[in-house]
Amino acid sequence: KRPEFDEFTNLDCRKFTRKYEIDIEKVENRNYSGVINENGYPQINIEYKWQMCNLNSNPNEDVQISSKMSYAKLEQEEQLINKSGHISQGNCRTYKISTFMDTEVRYHKVSTYVKGFLKIGDKIYDTEPNDKVVCQDYKFYRTRIRRSDDCKVEAQAKCYLRDVDTGKITTTMCDGNIEYSSNSKCSVPVRYEWEACNNEDYDIPLNAKRSKIKLNGSVVESIDTTIEATKCVTFIRDKEINCSKNTDTNFISLSLRGKGMGFRECRDYTFSEVSISDAFPSQSPSISSAPTVSSYPTKMLTSHPTEMPSTSQPTGMPTTDMPTSQST
């Protein structure tokens, strides 16, 4: 048993790294239970999972995968997944790796890209480069391991629905609560909030070149300010989301970088996404590629720490098409 991590079993990796920090004193005294590396850092069991799903609504709309364009990566290493053949409507192709995370490594990355073409019956629409027949998606996640001697700053990014009539903010989060509409003029008022918090007992000046608020990858504002001790700074933007563009996902992120006491660097990063639910119009085929678990080591990916890290090499277990209701 590993009492340090028992409560986090089956927790998504990003949530785990937001809730837990490596105790440097325990590392130095080699007090962590279970498997540790030569420097005393615990090795945590995890599972990475990639999914490529055909979310088209019409039963005859299959997707033919482009093996040259599609990939699943752990760090920079491409995984040997099945990238050929087709995915029938309503099904997913799933690939898993059970491995361990070296907590001495700060950053763990995973990514996946899938590209395919609409397939109806025996016809593959691979010679018509337009959004109605080209199906593609990309996902990237990065997890940063926290340590007990880190400078304590925290980044948060949120989206709330606003009242349609009054424009006032509600307590309802955006993600999962915006439904697709075939009306091209459909829009939903929302409020984006980015919050930068200083949890230290001294002021922290932020580096404006490295501290940025982003919406859909575009910089909204560079943060050129000093956050007072134990205070937070909030940035707000009222926007509208077009609910007829169901293939669009709205991403918001906040990166913080500043200087703490001595030579300590203060940094944090967060992102959140808002997707349009229940909605893939029959004329617009689409495919989703999603590493459902998020977090990433140097040679592995993260999902949930368990009791004892494996000492064997990562084992990939690609599975064939299966109904989305059965995928884990």
Q: Provide DSSP, 153-220.
A: EEEEEEEEEE-TTT--EEEEESTT--B--S-TT-EEEEEEEEEEEE-SSS-EEB-TTT-EEEETTEEE
**How far, rounded to the nearest angstrom, does the alpha carbon of residue 183 sit from its chain's CA centroid?**
30
Q: What is the pLDDT of residue 245?
A: 67
Given this model, what pLDDT does residue 35 score? Answer: 92
- Rounded to whole angstroms, the Cα distance separating 82 from 85 reads 8
Predicted local confidence at residue 29, as pLDDT: 95
Residue carrying structure tokens 């040259």: 68
Quote the pLDDT of residue 246. Answer: 55
Contact criterion met (CB below 8 Å) for 78 and 50: no
Give the pLDDT of residue 302: 26
Global confidence as pTM: 0.63
Is the CB of residue 298 less than 8 Å from the CB of residue 102? yes
Token pair of 157, please?
A: 């990014």
Residue 271, pLDDT score:
83
* Contacts with 135 (C-beta within 8 Å, 6 or more apart), sequence order: 54, 56, 63, 114, 115, 116, 117, 118, 285, 286, 287
What pLDDT, on the 0 to 100 scale, is given for residue 102? Answer: 93
Residues listed for the chain: 328
Angle at 247 between CA 244 and CA 248, to 5 degrees: 85
Q: What pLDDT was estimated at residue 290?
A: 46
Mean pLDDT per 10-residue interval, the chain, length 328 residues? 81 84 94 93 91 87 89 86 84 88 91 90 81 83 86 92 93 89 86 94 92 92 94 94 72 88 83 70 42 31 31 38 35
